[in-house]
Amino acid sequence: MSTIDRLLTVDEAAAVLGTKPRFPRRLIAERRIRFVKLGGRHVRIPESALREFIASGTVDPIRVNWAGGRVVA
């Protein structure tokens, strides 16, 4: 049985991201995030799309060998 993603409004997506609604709207306009069009001007962002967007921008820390001053990945 498949589960349906919760669809977030632009305002809800902005709250999750900690931004103003203008940012998720720009992501939608630039097609940088998946979204669902509900007819007319109504759009929703699936929670999974928001998780994918956040994961794609996550940068893993690097380890630095301070004794030798070189980066160890």
What pLDDT, in 10s, does the model give residues 29-63?
Answer: 999 999 999 988 899 999 999 999 999 999 888 77
Residues of the chain above pLDDT 70, percent: 85
pLDDT of residue 13: 98
**For the residues of 13-55, what is the DSSP string, one character each?**
HHHHHTS-THHHHHHHHTT-S--EE-STT-EEEEHHHHHHHHH
Residues of the chain above pLDDT 90, percent: 67
CATH 1.10.1660 for domain 7-72, yes or no, is: yes
Domain ranges of the chain: 7-72
